[in-house]
Amino acid sequence: MRHNLKYFDKMRCLRKRSAVSFLGVLVICLLLMNLYIEDSYVLEGDKQLIRETATHQLNPERYVHTFKDLSNFSGSINISYRYLAGTPLPRKRYLTIGLSSVKRKKGNYLLETIKSIFEQSSYEELKEIAVVVQLADFDSAWCEGMVQDISQKFAHHIIAGRLIVIHVPEEYYPVLDGLKRNYNDPEDRVKFRSKQNVDYAFLLNFCANLSDYYVMLEDDVRCSKNFLTTVKKVITSREGSYWVTLEFSKLGYIGKLYHSHDLPRLAHFLLMFYQEMPCDWLLIHFRGLLAQKEVIRFKPSLFQHMGYYSSYKGAENKLKDDDFEEESFDIPDNPPANLHTNMNVFENYEASKAYSSIDEYFWGKAPSTGDFYGIVFEKPIKITKIKVVTGTEDRQNDILHHGALEVGEKIIGSKKGRQCTTYLRLGEFKNGNFEMTDVEHKVLFSINCMRILVTKSQKEWLIIRSISIWTSQTSNQ
């Protein structure tokens, strides 16, 4: 078993090298599916066509646009879901949290996971979420027992329309025996991960119209306090930027956030390639096909794996996310803004990376007196707190040795070249960092701009690791 796991890990490392050829295969499959799939579920003959797809290599980038526009992938899969608890939602929510669970040989963490979701959410947050639990095991006795436990422990959430439990009958599943043994996986593992892909496809399909956003969790997860508020702040901070997947955990497919309008395509995608590879690998390919090349991951993580035994054969699974923080933490608002600098930027460490909520930074070559990093907010704001960190642990000398932070008003110029005419200096950087609270009591005007000003040339390069801004309210112009 241990040998198989090591081999499996090696194959994970090789996936990037084989991505181009695999994506070529995906493209052919997509074109075949465009011919054979209507707006209903994949027929048995169509599944056989997918399995027998040719292996000619094509340029995948040429077909990314085709994949985006396939109308066949915008409709839902025609499945009859059984409601085991709860009823259809009376109104659309902000976020749907999806869980799929099967009977485990050892341990059961589903009830604790549901409990953590609700306990770590405030009353106001509960109004904006829906939790959908799919009991995906074919053992009807186990499903009935789980429904009884869930209904007893979370009756008020079911009555309030926050919790739904569903099941998909076995007859809707594709063939799960005799599948291709990619990566030389044993047959039972291939069957397990292939069924898991179908489970998630059916769950995504069900959740497509329940909310604006969807986050994928496993059934053995612990949540951070007020995770919804943090998710909303991150989404707001990325307004105007393109993204397919935002990640709030570095483990598997825990904490992967999607626009709900992408769920039908993702459901079809998992269903088409259910036997090819594990779900987390397919999610990476889906993100790439929709032209998000880099991982966008938020730190600290909002979700932690808490299970000790895997749902696969009860094997030990001690994976933990060391970036997880359970207690509430002070997440900055970082309102939408245009970012610019006159410093010489190194490679692709552009200005936007210092203002991001994910783990990346701005890196500029040795700055001179008068150089700046500027932020022009889309709307005037009231700031309560500012924190700027420069340098990193491995480049501790690439800090701002002499600099000041200023805020500005009276904006002029076009949308692309806007700037403030008047600036107020709030203070100097100390040991490469700047932090100030109660800013709203020190600045009497609504702030349109903020800038980091270099007050003395330095020979060291400059890393701006993070810029964090907290606001009280948006001021009207």
Question: Do the domain assignments include residue 45?
Answer: no
Among 26, 30, 11, 29, smallest CA distance to 70 is for: 30
Final residue belonging to a domain, choices 252, 283, 305 = 305
Amino acid at 109: Y
Rg (C-alpha) for the chain, rounded Å, is: 25
Residue 183 tokens, joined? 């990566």
The terminus-to-terminus CA distance of the chain in angstroms comes to: 65
Contact 379, 335 (CB under 8 A): yes
In this structure, the answer to whether residues 279 and 398 fall within a common structural domain is no
In this structure, the answer to whether residues 206 and 261 fall within a common structural domain is yes
In this structure, the answer to whether residues 290 and 369 fall within a common structural domain is no
Question: Do the domain assignments include residue 311?
Answer: no
Count: domains in the chain: 2
Final residue belonging to a domain, choices 258, 284, 305 = 305
Please tell me the distance from the alpha carbon of residue 8 to that of residue 110, in angstroms, as a whole number. Answer: 27
Among 428, 442, 306, smallest CA distance to 382 is for: 442
Please tell me the distance from the alpha carbon of residue 401 to that of residue 173, in angstroms, as a whole number. Answer: 62
Question: Do the domain assignments include residue 323?
Answer: no
Residue 151 tokens, joined? 């209904």
Local structure of 92: helix, strand or coil: coil
Question: Do the domain assignments include residue 236?
Answer: yes
Label residue 196 exposed, middle or buried (CB < 10 Å: 0-12, 13-18, 19+). Answer: buried
CATH number at residue 429: 2.60.120.260
Final residue belonging to a domain, choices 257, 289, 305 = 305
Among 150, 157, 116, 154, smallest CA distance to 135 is for: 150
Per-position pLDDT tens, the chain of length 477: 444 444 444 444 444 444 434 545 554 454 444 433 333 333 343 333 333 332 223 333 433 444 444 445 667 788 889 999 999 988 999 999 999 999 877 667 899 999 999 999 999 999 999 999 999 999 999 999 999 999 999 999 999 999 999 999 999 988 887 777 776 777 878 888 888 999 999 999 999 999 999 999 988 888 888 899 989 988 887 887 899 999 988 777 788 999 999 999 999 999 888 888 888 888 888 999 998 988 888 877 888 867 554 444 444 545 655 554 555 556 788 888 889 999 999 988 999 889 876 778 999 999 999 999 999 998 999 999 999 999 988 899 999 999 999 999 988 876 667 889 899 999 999 999 999 999 999 999 999 999 999 999 999 999 999 999 999 854 444
CATH number at residue 117: 3.90.550.10
In this structure, the answer to whether residues 147 and 249 fall within a common structural domain is yes
Please tell me the distance from the alpha carbon of residue 423 to that of residue 449, in angstroms, as a whole number. Answer: 8
In this structure, the answer to whether residues 94 and 172 fall within a common structural domain is yes
Residue 136 belongs to what domain range? Answer: 82-305
**C-alpha separations of 131 from 85, 262, 280 in Å:** 12, 18, 21
| pTM over 0.95, yes/no | no
Question: Do the domain assignments include residue 52?
Answer: no
